[in-house]
A and B are shown apart, each in its own frame.
Chain A
Amino acid sequence: MVGNLISLTLNGRKRKVEAGRSVLAAARQFGIKIPTLCYHEALEPVGSCRLCVVEVTSGGRTRIMASCVTPVEEGMIVRTDTPRITEIRRTIARLLLARCPKVEIIRRTARELGVKVTPFPKDNEDCYLCGMCIRACAEIAGVGAIGFANRGPKSHVEPPFGQESNVCIGCGTCTTICPARTFDLARVFARKSMHKAAEGKETLRCTICEDHYTGA
């Protein structure tokens, strides 16, 4: 069902898009490339990687907004390709490249933005904290077994208090969705969460992974 259409200007061209969509979705609809590292169509957007920033003019003010969490508005003027936007995206790419120099999706995104080197000392993290695993666990699996622990540069993903999770069902949604291909179920699973849940119960054995599950 097509909702109400509203008009906005995208990179100088008048466009009509469905009301309620995000600027990112609208831009992609018309083939405009906007890089993202924390956006996934199946998940609620959080606007945390900030790579998808665009310049938005509405109500006489021009602001830099994350397009994935900015809803389209009638009369809005959006520019996705100004020098300022390019500079912000490149800086973010340099920061992420320094954090995760070996993660393929970061390397590729940086390359596409024309960033080959980073001026910052390199770490060797495998996770860039997009939080897709956390959102997938809560929103898709409906479980919420993992979350962010700690703050700032020390943030990392783990079950509450780093203890074994007694709610994880071992579904693997987190590992499947991880764009860095680094989220290992072992981080939650090694703590025997599902096995624990299955203890003493009538369980079936999975024909693929040989693990137990408590289904009918």
Chain B
Amino acid sequence: MNKQGKAGGVARRLEVCFGTACVAAGAREVLDALKAEIERRGPDAEVGVAKTACSAYCDLGPVVRMEPEGIVYGPVSVKDVAEIVSQHLVGGRVVERLAVTTQPALDSIPAVTETGFFKNQVLIAMRNRGRIDAESIEDSIENEGYLALAKALTAMKPEDVLEEVKRSGLRGRGGAGFPTGMKWEICRKAPGPQGKYVICNADEGDPGAFMDRSLLESDPHAVIEGMALGALAIGADVGYVYVREEYPLACERVLKAIDAARAYGLLGRNILGSDFSFDINVVRGAGAFVCGEETALMASIEGKEGRPRPRPPFPAQKGLWGKPTNINNVETWANVPPIVLHGGAWYASLGTQRSKGTKVFSLVGKVKNTGLIEVEMGTTLREIVFDIGGGILKDKRLKAVQTGGPSGGCIPASLIDLPVDYEELAKAGSIMGSGGLIVMDEETCMVDVAHYFVSFLEEESCGKCTPCREGIRRMREILGRIVKGEGRSGDMELLESLGTVIKESSLCGLGATSPNPVLTTLKYFRDEYEAHIYKKRCPAKVCKALIVYRVVPEKCTGCQRCVRACPAQAISGPRSQPHNLDPSKCIKCGACYEVCRFDAIAGDAIYVE
């Protein structure tokens, strides 16, 4: 499939990233243009062109990578194609202006694996990131795909597979961190009617998180192979991938991959000639956040309302269609093949005492390098934010890092040296979740953040149990009052007592974690709540009801930039004289503040009622 050209005797290949972000940014057009340009230049530019899995450097899409040099270009537009072909492919000189590097002024371009973003990463789940064509099973097989399954079917007993996973110390990557091997064993031992199920939970719903989507899009065979290994160890013969409809590319690729695996005899009856039979169905979810909860997910597959049910019975005892079922998320499954291939002891040598291996995070927010990262467990937040993330945008101050998605907690900058693993995050009041990591700078209002996440969770609560349905709504009402400057004394205490009750008494994990953003911000940023409630001030100058813009006459030169910028016609005044800002017309959008060159508007002069 990958036509490989030769240059100087070395196989060369131009790889265009085909992750969702790059495709959205125009990777398809870039790929077509590259092919056309190479065609036009003829034998001079002999090279293979391939589309590859998500390179995880989403900030720079579309990304094009030149192999074997390992030079990464991004963002590449159709206009840049001719230059890359003539200068680099034909001329052998790197196109410096497009090359990815951490050096602002560059003497030489470092190989991409040596740049800060990639250097500190350890790739296991994302081992094929940016290296293979996700739609090519041959590419996957060339890169150790299905080797672990072949090993398990020819040289191992199902018990041995289970033993390796137990030895690896792998824990569920979907959030709760339950030991995967133990979960498999319970399901394996569960008595029950014929037929057990394995499920891949790809109902990733955290705002700003895209680990599972990217894994499914870039390496679907890793997930399929992991599920097959799990089914072998557990004694299941049918698998389901539950993926949300909002992930069309992931759906498409996983379906294609399943077809390809069937055609190769890697799924279906008597896999690789053994007596092990296993096949996978894909079920598309309608995109309810709560369907990521395992019992709600199974209800949804069964065609019922996507609502959780109490456990016990656990899915391992009584799961899908009442049969023992093992459910793991995408990243967990993707970790299984390397564990079986290289041994549990190898995996367990990475990480911390109780959290082994690596974890994929989607690093987003006010950080310079955004994208997907995979790091060893125990890596500190500082390494993640500053070494890999490259620090805070515009070199502002870090305020907090939110981990674990909307129901995760906000960890303050003072805990930046926290090693990231399940235990340490829990101690700080947050969760690992599925791996969302949102970096917040000094211009973030923590009360506003809590309000935002609680509003999301109110919307996504299924409504089954009282504390979650009624409690989250009341928390949102109280927070809504506070950000509007209508907070009352006693609100913080009410939030705390209500939050604690919701945490302790909700039916499922969604409810039980939903107060985390409120409780952690109350714990670490209490002064911001107090400022909102008692002083009616928003220290980060975010909450619109609590800020007032005004012109500082001594500084205003009357340049009229703000007059033009104001969408509400709230600023007037003749040129060269201090302008007037009419507070009754002001919509507090901040446009004037952004354009003012003389610190005449807001800045330290933000006047607070």
* A binding-site residues for B, Cβ under 8 Å: 46-51, 53, 64, 66, 69-71, 84, 87-88, 91-92, 95-96, 98-99, 119-121, 128-129, 131, 147-148, 150-155
Contacts and interface: CB of A to CB of B under 8 A. Distances in A.
Interface in B272-309: 288, 290, 305, 307, 309
Interface SS of chain B: helix, strand, loop or mixed?
helix
Contacts of B473: 152-153
A152 B465 contact: no
Given A47-B310, A96-B470, A98-B474, 12 more contacts: A46-B464, A47-B309, A49-B466, A53-B505, A70-B312, A96-B466, A120-B477, A152-B461, A152-B469, A153-B461, A154-B463, A155-B463
B184 to A, nearest CB: 20
Contacts of B435: none
Nearest to B467: A50
A48 B511 CA distance: 12
Interface residues of B, number: 32
Given A50-B506, A119-B494, A153 B469 contact: yes
A40 to B, nearest CB: 16
B39 interface: no
Which 6 A-B pairs have CB atoms at the shortest separation, nearest pair first? A155-B463, A152-B461, A95-B470, A69-B310, A47-B310, A91-B501
A203 B464 CA distance: 39
Nearest to B497: A91
B505 A64 contact: yes
A48 B288 contact: no
Given A119-B494, A148-B463, A155 B501 contact: no
Interface string B56-87: 00000000000000000000000000000000
Interface in B291-339: 305, 307, 309-310, 312
Contact of A49 (B288, B460, B462, B465): B465
B470 A46 contact: no
Interface of B: 288, 290, 305, 307, 309-310, 312, 458-467, 469-474, 477, 494, 497-498, 501, 504-507
A71 B469 contact: no
Most buried by A among B458, B472, B504, B505: B505
A95 B467 CA distance: 8
Nearest to A37: B466
Contacts of B505: 50, 53, 64, 88, 92
30 contacts: A46-B464, A47-B465, A48-B466, A48-B507, A50-B466, A50-B467, A50-B507, A87-B501, A91-B497, A91-B498, A92-B467, A92-B501, A92-B505, A96-B470, A98-B470, A119-B494, A120-B474, A120-B477, A148-B305, A151-B290, A151-B462, A152-B458, A152-B460, A152-B462, A152-B463, A152-B472, A153-B458, A153-B461, A153-B463, A153-B469
Contacts of B307: 148
Nearest to B458: A152
A156 B466 CA distance: 13
Nearest to A63: B504
A76 B462 CA distance: 31
A96 to B, nearest CB: 6
A53 B305 CA distance: 24
Nearest to B312: A71
A33 B464 CA distance: 24
Contacts of B459: 151-152
A133 B312 CA distance: 24
A46 B467 contact: no
A96 B471 CA distance: 10
A128 B465 CA distance: 10
Nearest to B311: A69
A139 B312 CA distance: 21
Contacts of B460: 151-152
A148 B310 CA distance: 18
B227 to A, nearest CB: 30
Contacts of B465: 47-50
Nearest to A92: B466
B457 to A, nearest CB: 9
Contacts of A88: 501, 504-505
Contacts of A95: 466-467, 470-471, 474
A29 to B, nearest CB: 21
A96 B466 CA distance: 8
Contacts of B501: 87-88, 91-92
A151 B461 contact: yes
B487 to A, nearest CB: 14
B305 A147 contact: yes
B74 to A, nearest CB: 40
Contacts of B504: 64, 84, 88
Nearest to B471: A95
A95 B474 CA distance: 8
Contacts of B506: 50
Contacts of B472: 152
A101 B577 CA distance: 60
Nearest to A66: B310
B311 to A, nearest CB: 9
A63 to B, nearest CB: 9
B406 to A, nearest CB: 14
Nearest to A155: B463
A46 B464 CA distance: 9
A66 B470 contact: no
B471 to A, nearest CB: 6
Contacts of B494: 119
Nearest to A96: B466
